[in-house]
Amino acid sequence: MILRVLAGLCLVLYAGLAQSTPTQAGEAARARQLLESRTWIDKAWGAHLAIGAHDPSLRELLVDNLRRIQPLREVAVNTAEYNCVQSLLDALIQTDAEVPSAVILPFERGWRPEVLLLLSLQRDNSMANEAALLAMLDEKPDWLELFAIGDLLARMQSQRFFRQTLEKIEFKHRITVRDSADRSVHTGMSSLAGLVSTRSVPKGFPPIGFYDLQGELYAFPAKAFSSPRPVYYRRIVVAGGMTIQWSTLKLKNPADVRQAYSLKYLPRPRHLATLEVQHLYFRDTTILWKTAEDFSQDAETAIDQQANDIRAFLEDAHHEGLGDVSGITLTIFPIVEDRREITHDRLPAVLPKVIVLN
């Protein structure tokens, strides 16, 4: 909302500049000429000038250039060819261009942040993107990419995303057994993994913007992917002949934490809050030890209640048109923690609960 307000203010401030100035008109003409060139450096300069020209008619030419250089989608980083692709993607993002999916998706492996940002600019949220986004999820993307991809799929109300997310979630029920009323606190940690590389722009090339995804809103302009956790982008401009360090540091959170956030992307009935949906995925029950028979009964009752709540949630979601999950088999896995200090009788086994959805 804040970003939209700022964008609105910018429109008001610049309303008087809607018509191109002579300088901008000259830049637009020069940009067209350079984009028609066959050299990578000329095309990069054409893309750079297109950003400052503020001429919407250049977007189609930028898209056409990106379409024609699709064979470069696997070129090595920091080469002239790579920077030509980068300059075109930069110009398309900076000019808020709506680029056809068939043009940008071939570049997703080498330029995933840029591709996700361009997909977010598509107003129709085309279902043609669904298969590609689901394939990205299958590759176990990093933490922030997971949020951005989930946001795009949630926007299009993808029922395949709904079904696939359910199939991948491990429903769990932690049962803590005690013979006193004391409680303990469970915590989790996130780990970091990654490498440091470089981004170089060859000498003679124009300044080019490079993008990565961020979990925080920095002081410079950023467009956000929305709930459940905002994701912003960072644009770093590198001048021709310059090299910068480029971190490929990625958040590698525990699988259960990732699943908890994935669950938040599930479409949910209007009467349920996000935390109530998350409570379906992981439930925590403490049982005060009496006898083995009482423990087995209490554990079974607790897990059955979770299973019933999951069924009710999915039935409500189906009735509201949020997704058909018939034929899916879900399993609630019990995690039993024995925290008894006085009694040492053997704990009865607690079996997983299988839920077959009709």
228 cis-preceded (ω within 30 degrees of 0):
yes
What is the C-alpha to C-alpha distance for residues 74 and 65, in angstroms, rounded to an integer? 16
Contact 336, 175 (CB under 8 A): yes
d(CA 267, CA 288): 36
Residue 182 one-letter amino acid = D
Q: Are strands 191-193 and 250-252 parallel, antiparallel or unpaired?
A: antiparallel
Ordered by start, the domain boundaries in the chain are 24-160, 168-182+254-356, 193-252
What distance lies between CA 135 and its chain's CA centroid? Answer: 13
Q: Count other C-beta atoms under 10 Å from residue 253's C-beta.
A: 18
What is the predicted pLDDT for the residue at 294? 92
Q: Is 87 left (phi over 0), alpha (psi -120 to 50) or beta?
A: alpha
Q: Using CA atoms, how far apart are residues 179 and 289, in angstroms rounded to an integer?
A: 5
Which residue do the tokens 């990093």 mark? Answer: 142
pTM: 0.72
- What's the CA gap between 217 and 224, in Å, rounded? 9
Per-residue pLDDT of the chain (358 residues; tens, 9 = 90+): 333 333 333 333 333 334 456 577 788 899 999 999 999 999 999 999 999 998 999 999 999 999 999 999 999 999 999 999 999 999 999 999 999 999 999 999 899 999 999 998 887 666 678 888 988 888 778 778 888 888 888 788 777 887 777 777 788 999 999 987 554 433 333 444 445 688 999 999 999 999 988 877 655 556 667 656 678 888 999 999 999 988 765 555 555 555 656 666 665 555 455 556 667 788 899 999 989 999 999 999 999 999 998 888 887 777 766 667 777 888 999 999 999 888 778 899 999 999 887 7
